[in-house]
Chains A and B, each alone.
Chain A
Amino acid sequence: MDLLMLFITAVFVQNYVLYYFLGICPFLGVSKKIDSAVSMGLAVTFVMTITAVVSWIINHWILIPYRLDYLQIVAFILVIASLVQLVEMFIRKISPPLYQALGIYLPLITTNCAIMGLALLAALKNFSFIQTVIYGVGSGLGFTLAIVLMAGIREQLDLADVPKPLKGAGIALIVAGIMALAFTGFSGMIT
């Protein structure tokens, strides 16, 4: 039951994009089409899950036993950078059009603060291994949910009569703000 709560918290209540406001760059950059938003969300979910697992192993088997906790940030960056490289190679091999569509945002997952934030927060909260995995998957799915919702709204926005000064990034940020307000409604789910 605790694990389920943890999962729901990660997806809805403490959503990385709409609660912590981390990972805004791809959230605005790749949310123009639902297709590429789904792919981006899945890529981030994959990186988040594996990062959570690997960083837990490194943290609990290497850093904490040797009292090297202060190396957390450096070590986690190493994990994230390698994983993103792996994902990039994988996507390039599997689907060149998807590689084109994700463009610069794919290597930029490396510098996505949501993933770094996940690794650090999981370490900070002293999660067990299972909890970390659930938390990683949940956070990734939360990111996917947010970016796909955003893409859906923006596809409709293309047809709407947006005032000229607000076109593009302006209206996208306003929509993101309203979505964040809406998501605070979930905070009543956990007490």
Chain B
Amino acid sequence: MIDIFLPVITMAALGLLFSVGLVFAYQKLRVEEDPRIVDVAESLPQANCGACGYSGCRAFAEAVAGGHAPASGCPVGGNETAQRIAQILGLEAEAVIKKVARLHCRGDREAARERGAYLGLTTCYAAGLVGGNKQCSYGCMGYGDCVRVCLFDALDMGEDGLPHVREDKCTACGKCVDACPRNLFELHPLEQEILVFCRSLDRGPTAKKACKNACIGCGICARACPEAIEMRDNLAYIRDYKKIAPEQIPAIEKCPTGSIGRIHKEDEG
């Protein structure tokens, strides 16, 4: 019996000795930590995705508690998280405008003409190096680099050869924005209805020949709403969607190619 007790007692005594030593050391060397950091860190999504610009949820929590980052800085957590953080810090949170990724191309299989058969690696990055598979050198190549990087299952490749964004799942983390070699994704507020669905800088006839849905730079939309829309390099840009009045929308939708318009018109119909 003694053979078992001796080692057990020895180890227990040693453990006790060291733990008592550590307890005393802790009393002497304790560092007060801001308790708000822990609270904020707990209310974050813990995805550690880095969408806030910090190296992880913990780093963001430290920045928020230190006043270096806004309470609404976590795009993944959205409004709910921002309100909770604001409560912890005793601040008024500015409401987070939910953003989603939008694809600036409508060159689907039907509309965009192919340039030839591309037989290389089926990634957009590889295809883009040799000029892509379509006549339009600005449009979506449809090999799904964006779908592969999406961590939230918010993108899927449609039958039409274009990726589709699921608004309810998109967290606006911006991974697809970085992944697209042609910069076709951009983060827009969910409430923004009117978008330009083209990135082609080709002149009208060339653009039209390559894709039926391309912006041909005619400027009808810019004339309909000069406060919000401007033309640059044969392409329409929306400067400030809030300045588009509801009564101007029908005039904007007169676009001959449908490259500017409401995002949901097609999906709902």
Question: Which of B6, B14, B25, B29 sits near A78, CB closer than 8 Å?
Answer: B14
> How many CB-defined contacts (below 8 Å) exist between A and B?
43
B23-40 to A contact mask, C-beta < 8 Å, 1/0: 001100111000000000
Q: Is the CB of B10 within 8 A of A62?
A: yes
The reply to whether the CB of A164 lies closer than 8 angstroms to some CB of chain B is no
Q: A82-B18, A93-B31 are in contact. Are A71 and B10 (CB under 8 A)?
A: yes
Q: How far is the CA of A68 from the CA of B15 in the complex (A)?
A: 16
Q: Is the CB of A68 within 8 A of B7?
A: yes
Q: Is the CB of B15 within 8 A of A78?
A: yes
CB distance from B97 to the nearest CB of A (A): 34
Q: Is the CB of A82 within 8 A of B10?
A: no
Q: Is the CB of B14 within 8 A of A58?
A: yes
Contacts of A75 in B (CB 8 A): 10-11, 14
The reply to whether the CB of A85 lies closer than 8 angstroms to some CB of chain B is yes
How big is the A interface, by class?
Answer: 10 to 19
Contacts of B19 in A (CB 8 A): 82
CB closest residue in chain B, given A82: B18
Q: Is the CB of A74 within 8 A of B11?
A: yes
Q: A68-B6, A68-B7 are in contact. Are A89 and B25 (CB under 8 A)?
A: yes
A56-79 to B contact mask, C-beta < 8 Å, 1/0: 001000110010100100110011
Q: A78-B18, A82-B21, A82-B22 are in contact. Are A66 and B10 (CB under 8 A)?
A: yes
Q: How far is the CA of A121 from the CA of B11 in the complex (A)?
A: 21
- Which of B11, B19, B29, B30 neighbours the largest number of chain A CB atoms within 10 Å of its CB? B29
Q: Is the CB of B6 within 8 A of A90?
A: no
Q: Is the CB of B18 within 8 A of A79?
A: yes
The reply to whether the CB of A169 lies closer than 8 angstroms to some CB of chain B is no
Q: Is the CB of A71 within 8 A of B22?
A: no
Contacts of B22 in A (CB 8 A): 82, 85-86
Question: Which of B6, B26, B31 sits near A66, CB closer than 8 Å?
Answer: B6
| Residue tally, chain B, CB below 8 Å to A | 15
CB closest residue in chain A, given B26: A89
Q: Is the CB of A90 within 8 A of B29?
A: yes
Q: How far is the CA of A58 from the CA of B14 in the complex (A)?
A: 9
Contacts of A74 in B (CB 8 A): 11
Q: How far is the CA of A90 from the CA of B26 in the complex (A)?
A: 9
The reply to whether the CB of A92 lies closer than 8 angstroms to some CB of chain B is yes
- Which of B11, B14, B22, B30 neighbours the largest number of chain A CB atoms within 10 Å of its CB? B14
CB distance from A43 to the nearest CB of B (A): 15
Contacts of A63 in B (CB 8 A): 10
CB distance from A77 to the nearest CB of B (A): 11
CB distance from A83 to the nearest CB of B (A): 9
Q: Is the CB of A92 within 8 A of B14?
A: no
Contacts of B26 in A (CB 8 A): 89
CB closest residue in chain B, given A74: B11
A91-132 to B contact mask, C-beta < 8 Å, 1/0: 011001000000000000000000000000000000000000
Q: Is the CB of A86 within 8 A of B10?
A: no
Contacts of A62 in B (CB 8 A): 10, 14
What 6 pairs across the A-B complex have the smallest Cβ distances? A82-B18, A89-B29, A93-B29, A92-B31, A86-B25, A68-B7
4 extra interchain contacts, Cβ-Cβ under 8 A, other than A79-B18, A89-B25, A89-B26? A58-B14, A68-B10, A92-B29, A93-B29
Return 20 A-B CB contacts under 8 Å, by A number: A62-B10, A66-B10, A68-B6, A71-B7, A71-B11, A75-B14, A78-B11, A78-B14, A78-B15, A79-B18, A82-B22, A86-B21, A86-B22, A86-B25, A89-B25, A89-B29, A90-B25, A92-B29, A93-B30, A93-B31
